[in-house]
Structure formats: structure tokens, C-alpha cells
Structure 1
């Protein structure tokens, strides 16, 4: 038979080796059980550490990928359009004028005897402003009255003559011709009396003009005469103007409205009036009438606004600002001006739809400064991007910010 190889242990524990030498060798090959447990624990801890390390790295890489994906999506702030454009205020310059502005002239010749009111005086209708001496008119009136008395005496005699002649004609004492002559003389004398009466009435009327009265309630704004001045009747030259009166309880303001806004201007509206000398006060006006015609030279509509001035705060000739309210257009929306994108193909705004940006063409109406009126292209529920980047294009993924944009309503 073939010899089988001896086990390895047999090589170590050779039969020829003494027993005392084999024991240490056996103890050296078999470590204690506690050491083995410690080694196994260390290995397990290392394995756990490696596992959690690899797992944390995997999770970090996944989180980084998510953050990278989120960062790649643009974050935008949005607003919703506001329905119905607000009323717009049209501010135009104007100048106050007196409701009634009248120069006062003399109607008779003479010399100024006395004046009773100076500039700035408030007068009532019928107040005596001045008195004029008219010696020539007085003399003419005396002569006219004397001529009237003569004519009346002649008429009385002609009447008696005509009656007598008519009675004598019955007895054939006078001819018919004489009776007709007497009757004609009487009629002529009656006409002369009527003429003399008219002349006296005319001169009496001129004499009544010696007293100059206020034609309406108002204020004296100019006095161009003094005691002793020669007064000429009529309004031939400005030097003959005695006084200038203005009614200021109600003031007129004439405003030229541009043709573009003329359809929005209607009688009965209540525009407000402001003046620089009263910065914190508004005066209520009433649009009473328009010219109903566009001025061909200025392309404007002339309108009249009346302002109550019962407290005499406003002065004629003052520079004013008139604020007209223009009604907003129906079925329109307004958006902030910082939402607009000016592109070569036209005006656009960015709208968020299904997580993506979409550039929408719009048509704007009135410009309110920080906001514009949109006539078409947007609805009340659209999410319009605020401050869009110039590189924004349709289809760009976007994410709506949760914070409210500044200036959003």
C-alpha cells in the first residue's frame, strides 16, 4: 500500500518530540476567546462605519443633485392684474377771471365833482360811485324847458283859433280855407310841443347821468379819475374810463383741453382747482359749458369752469391748476410698469403657466406712471412675472416665489 501523508499537526507533534515541548506550541496556535470577540467587534464597527459613510455620501450626492436641479429652475415673483383701470386725473393750467368785468364810463360831459369809492372797495348794486357837474347840460335843459313852454302857449292859442274858425264857418263868416289853415296851424303846434317835450326828456336823462351808480355787486379794481377832471361822455378812449368793476363772488376759469381728452369732458362735472398760494386746499369748481368746437390753431377744446368765491379767497387773474377726472375704461386691467418686456416683435409680459414662463403680447392704454392700463392680452387671474430678465423666453421653467413682490396690491 502507498504511504498516506501525515497530517500537518503530526509534523509539529512528532512522536519523537517530548510532551513537554508540544504543549507550548499548541497554546500558541489557539488565541483566547476574548481576543477573537474583540477582533470581530472591531471588524463589525469598521463595516458599519464604511456602510454609513457610503450611505451618507450617496445621500449627499442625491441632495446635491436635487439642489442643482432646483437651482437650475429660475425663481420669479408674480402679481395678478388689478381689474378696472382707476380714474385718471387730467391737470391743466388756467387763469381766474371775474364773472362780470366792466369798465364804467360817463354818459354826460362835465367835471368830476366827487368820487365815493376807491380801489378795493366792495360795492352793492345802485351805490353812488361819483358825481359829475354838468353846467352846459343844465343850461341846455333850462333852454329846452323854456322852448317847451313857448310851444305849449302857441299850441293853446292855435287850438282856440281853430275852434273859433270852425264856429264862424257855420255862419259863413269865414271861408273853408281859413278854417283849414287854423286847424293845420294847431296840428303843427302840437307836433312842436311833442318835439320840445322829447328834447327836455333827453336833457333830463343826460342830467341824471351826473350821478354814476354801481351796475352790480362787485369790487372796484381801478379808479382813473379825480376831482376836477374833465369828463367826456362815451367810451372813446381808455382815459375816459372812470372806474373798473369786477364781480368776484363767482370766478370763471377758461381751460384749453387737448383734443385727445375732449370726449371725456362734459358739462356738470366737478373738477377741483388748486393754487400755489394755497398748497393744502382744494377749491370745488363746476364745468358749466364748453365751446363745442376744436380750435384749429391749438387743437384744443375751450371749457369754462366756475368756482364759488364767497369768502373772497381767490383773486381775478390768479394762475390755477384745474384737475379733471377722466373715467376709467371698463373691462381692462392694470399691471406695474416693471412687468413689461420690450421686444422687437412688440410689447410683452411674462406669465407663469404650468410651471413655465410664457411671453404674452399685450396692448396698453393709459400710462399712470408706475402702472399701465392693459386693454387686451391679460386676465384677472394671470400670474404676471415682476422684473423679468431680458433673457426670459417662452418655455423657460420657473418657480413662483412665496414672498410677495414689493408694490403688489
Structure 2
């Protein structure tokens, strides 16, 4: 009885082992078959057909309104400010008094110079009378030529001293005039740099004066914008208020800085505004926009671009549905797309997704509609 049970257990064990081996081979065979099929099947990718078209090259920048003519006015002399007659925002005319410094010392210098002129004039009158008297005696041979020469020398010296005294007087008057700071042109005061009672040095800014008639829109432009700009006539710029785009004027580029800013590495561009409205005050933020016609170009999603040795390229499909990498020239990069000017032809099929998983001569397929 015990022997019979042992035989029965052995048969059952062998049967179960055989079933397990058979199931393993069956499962392994079915797993390998789809894997081989996947290897043989071409990869499914997303693509689009190239259709070059003319794209308006729209460029915009943010800047501010600044006066075309602005001067920092200061005294030609050092001194203490007695009175500043204007504040920021005041309109002034040419010649209007802006500020004054203490002038007592300079008035005294003028008085001293006037006294010197009077004294030299008296000496000149005496020298003239002496020259006439000695000259008369010399003609009658009552005096020597040496005495006459001395009289002439004294006369000429007196004339020179008078001329010098008059020049000193004019200089003293000029110095007195420099104690008053006056407007050099019609304009508006945009800033003040000193207060009453303050000691100022020569040339220190006391009043900043700007011409309100001529205004510029000033922008900071990146170097890449100049690199991608076509050569030829510079287009006109449409400038509008950032706070109210309905207020806009036309302008023309009048100056491009030849040197980049040391910090931002941008170039300052000044646009002369034509008949700017009163709302475009100094310091207002403005937007500049220019539309330029461009040659036919290709626009692709940003995901289509591939990096090959540091240069841009895209994957295109060739004969027998095999992919190949083609270098391209990118005009500019935008938020979610790139604009390509060279490297692609009309009808080329470019892959737009999964480009990092492709390799050269790989076979691919795409569903109908992906290449439209």
C-alpha cells in the first residue's frame, strides 16, 4: 500500500513538471515573436511637409521717450547759491534767469578795474601833454633827441597800460555776469541739482534743460537683430505709448550707437519722432515696431530642431522611407518655433517630434495627415 502511494506521488510530480516546462516554452516563444516583429516594423513618427512662404519680419522693442537736446547747466564760477528761480517742470525762454550765486566779490573787482582804467587814463593824458611839449622843443633844437625818445616811450607805455586796464575791466564784468545762470535756449526744466544756500563748484549741474519740441524714442537693441537685418534703406518705425497703444506716431532711425553697452551688451538706437503728441512726455514707455518683407522661409516647431556638432539640423525622410540629417540655417528662434531660411526645399518631409531617438538610415513611417 505504501509503495503504491509513492508511485502515485511520483507520477503526479513528473506530470506537473512537464506541464510547467511546456508552459514556459510556450510563453517564451510567444514573447520572442512579437519582439522580432517590432524590430522588423518601421518606427511611427510625427512629421510635416515643408511649404516655404513669405513671412513678415515683425520686430518690436520697448523703450522710452527722451529729449533730443538736453543740457546740464552750471555756473562758470564757484560760489554759494543765493537764489534758484526755477523748479522742475517750468517752461523757460532763452535768456531767462535760472539761478544766482553771491556776487559781492565780483562787484568789487569791477569797481577796482574801473578805478585802474581811470588812473591809466590820467597817466595817458599827462604822457600825451609831455610828448607834445618835448616834441615842440625838439623841433626848435632846444632839447636833445634822447629826451624826445623818452617822452614818446612814456606815451606808448601809457597807451598800453590803458588798453590792459580796459581788458581787465571787461574780464571783471564777465566774471560778474557769470554769477547769473541763464537759459541757453527755450525749453523745460527736467531736473535741478542744487538748492538755495548750497556751495557749488565750477560746472556742477544746477539746472537740466531740455528742448520739448524735438523728442526721440530710445531703444536698447540686441546685436543679433542687426546681424539678421537685411541691408539697404532703414525702414520707418511705428512708435506707440505702452499705456495707450492707440496713441502712436511714425519715426525714423537717426542714430545707432557704434559701441555696445558694457553691462547689457546692447546697442542704443534713437528714433526721431515726427510731430509727437503731448501725451508722449519725457520718460514715457513706448513700444517700437517695424514690419519688413522677407524672402520665403520655413517655419517649424521647436521640437524639430536637432543639434549636430553645435550646428542646427533637422531629420528628413528620403528614399525607401529612410531618415537622414540635413543642416539648416536658422534666421531666428521664437518661443515655440524656429524660422529657417536655408537648407530645406518645398516638399521635404521633416520630423517634428522624437528627433533625439532617430538615427541615420532608420526606416520610419507616419500616419496619413501627419505630413500635411
TM more than 0.5: yes
Alignment of 1:124-135 (within 5 A): 124-131=93-100, 134-135=103-104
1:259–1:100 CA distance, 2 compared to 1 (3 A) = same
Unaligned runs of at least 5 residues, structure 1: 1-71
Alignment of 1:53-132 (within 5 A): 79-89=49-59, 91=61, 94=63, 96-107=65-76, 114-131=83-100
Alignment of 1:219-368 (within 5 A): 219-224=188-193, 229=197, 234-235=202-203, 238=204, 241-248=205-212, 249-251=214-216, 253=218, 255-258=220-223, 261-262=226-227, 264=229, 268-273=234-239, 276-278=242-244, 284-293=250-259, 300=265, 302-308=267-273, 310-317=276-283, 322-323=288-289, 328=294, 330=295, 333-337=297-301, 340=304, 347-350=314-317, 357=321, 359=323, 361-364=325-328, 365-366=330-331, 367-368=333-334
* 1:151 is the counterpart of 2:120: yes
The count of corresponding residues between Structure 1 and Structure 2 is 319
- Structure 2 Cα separation of the partners of residues 398 and 109 of structure 1: 83
- Out of 174, 189, 203, which is 2:143 matched to? 174
Which sits farther off after the overlay, 144-153 or 316-325? 316-325
Equivalent position of 2:162 in the other structure: 193
Contact 1:259 1:294 in 2 (8 A): no
TM-superposed deviation, 1:180: 0.8
Equivalent position of 1:214 in the other structure: 183
TM-superposed deviation, 1:154: 1.4
* 1:379 is the counterpart of 2:334: no
- Cα deviation 1:43-71 (Å, max 9, x = unaligned): xxxxxxxxxxxxxxxxxxxxxxxxxxxxx
TM-superposed deviation, 1:263: 6.4
Contact 1:224 1:243 in 2 (8 A): yes
Aligned Cα root-mean-square deviation (Å)? 4.4
TM-superposed deviation, 1:189: 0.4
Contact 2:256 2:270 in 1 (8 A): no
- Structure 2 Cα separation of the partners of residues 268 and 90 of structure 1: 15
- Structure 2 Cα separation of the partners of residues 121 and 111 of structure 1: 23
TM-superposed deviation, 1:121: 1.0
- Cα deviation 1:112-160 (Å, max 9, x = unaligned): 5654432111223233324556233223222322221221121122112
Alignment of 1:6-25 (within 5 A): none
- Structure 2 Cα separation of the partners of residues 377 and 259 of structure 1: 20
SS at match of 1:264: coil
Equivalent position of 1:184 in the other structure: 153
Contact 2:72 2:207 in 1 (8 A): yes
- Structure 2 Cα separation of the partners of residues 269 and 311 of structure 1: 22
Unaligned runs of at least 5 residues, structure 2: 1-41
1:257–1:323 CA distance, 2 compared to 1 (3 A) = farther
Equivalent position of 2:37 in the other structure: none
- Structure 2 Cα separation of the partners of residues 107 and 193 of structure 1: 27
Which sits farther off after the overlay, 121-130 or 167-176? 121-130
1:341–1:98 CA distance, 2 compared to 1 (3 A) = closer
